[in-house]
Structure 1
């Protein structure tokens, strides 16, 4: 339904109304929760993005539990050791699925069709996740984390980053790992998913040729 001039005059200067109209126009409910997808989405390469999101959800859930009980809880509790193991292996699968997803979309030229923002947000999520992974290793509160911290310290100090990011400061690393970096990752992933919904999943490079061949075969 088109907006009348009277409606436009009532919402002019109202940023909340303008934001709502833009969201309704660009992200209708049918795009946010589509009931159907193209046939090529059944290919296995399209599965790894969803698997990455599943691992991210499990990372957040187990991370919340570890945060509630403290960074050293898993050393003295069997339940804590189990939750920490779930958290650790979820991270490993998260990066595995993300790398496969990233390379798969690279060879599919996933930035085609106005999807550059989708590609950029996906790459940004990968970079921020690497930093979050480093801070996670620094929070193990064992000899391994101490060795990683003091090896990383020299490299970061050489670049000047150590002035604001002290890998030997457990409190600062805890803040980065459980609050700041997860918030950035969540925002970037949300933007990535919204752009996927807005532009749709990228078709295979030869999708047009395949569809044309199918149409030609059906017409015979």
Structure 2
């Protein structure tokens, strides 16, 4: 598998890296290429036309929340059920259509981020079961290790482009500030997850990172709770605690998107999914921006 130098560089992660040195800037070739790719992806996402979808007629849903208003049952389960039906009826929780303005590649990167996260979790589970000796010495271990690395690279890359897009779209509009904050929190937790992953490599790279970071942690008082040189602690944080927190935050983020809907282009005001007014886009400049006013678009057909 590693006979070809290019394939070996992609699969075997234990080879030396190449660095670019411009004045005071010192960056590895891999990180430089990742940054260039992210910029290119962002530019393509806002410039390439999206796939054409088929307009579908708006279906009328009966409000389950109002239909169940006669339920006067007490207890936290009944209260939770009523809140769930109020804010997340089935047509909003699992919609089969989206507003027409979602027909843009910019809206795709959130789903790509979740897909890459799922792949990172699955490959990481295999690595955790087999152990460091397997992923360092076995050809299949090299492949799964590289699969985990590149899924993480895609996860962080897609999430970065997603954050860029939502920042310039002012995604906190329309009472979506909690959606925005959970997305930012997921990004910060992902940095912690990536750092503990570096410490869990069990190679010279991870040893160097551990020795260099321990002084920074000790000076900030974090060393009293987290020892970067403790492989067992770093590994448990990487495969147990931090992933649980990250998945929980991502789940809350997705639910908030379902509750408030995806953010519309600036200048447009959409109705919420599942309401009788439909997913119409009300905007004075709708014709100039190419937004359909009275139909929803079923993306992916």
Paired with 1:155 and 1:186, the residues of 2 have a C-alpha distance of 28
Counterpart residue number, 1:193: 254
Unpaired stretches in structure 2, ≥5 consecutive residues: 1-66, 269-282, 295-301
Cα gap change, 1:40 to 1:80, in 2 (>3 Å): same
Which protein is richer in helix relative to its size? Answer: 1
Paired with 1:66 and 1:179, the residues of 2 have a C-alpha distance of 13
Q: Secondary structure at the match of 2:215?
A: helix
Paired with 2:80 and 2:116, the residues of 1 have a C-alpha distance of 32
Paired with 1:190 and 1:209, the residues of 2 have a C-alpha distance of 35
| Superposition TM-score, scaled by structure 2 size | 0.68
Which protein is richer in strand relative to its size? Answer: 2
Paired with 1:72 and 1:157, the residues of 2 have a C-alpha distance of 30
Q: Secondary structure at the match of 2:175?
A: coil
- Counterparts of 1:128-167 in structure 2 under 5 Å? 128-167=189-228
Runs of 4+ in 1 over 4 A off after TM superposition: 212-215
Paired with 2:133 and 2:77, the residues of 1 have a C-alpha distance of 45
Paired with 1:40 and 1:72, the residues of 2 have a C-alpha distance of 50
Counterpart selection for 1:106 from 139, 149, 167: 167
Counterpart residue number, 1:209: 284
Counterpart residue number, 1:17: 78
Say whether 1:174 aligns with 2:174: no
CA contact (8 A) 1:31 1:197 kept: yes
CA contact (8 A) 1:72 1:141 kept: no
Shifted more, 117-126 versus 91-100: the winner is 91-100
Paired with 1:176 and 1:73, the residues of 2 have a C-alpha distance of 21
Shift of 1:212: 6.4
**Aligned-residue CA RMSD (Å):** 1.8
Paired with 2:110 and 2:121, the residues of 1 have a C-alpha distance of 17
| Superposition TM-score, scaled by structure 1 size | 0.92
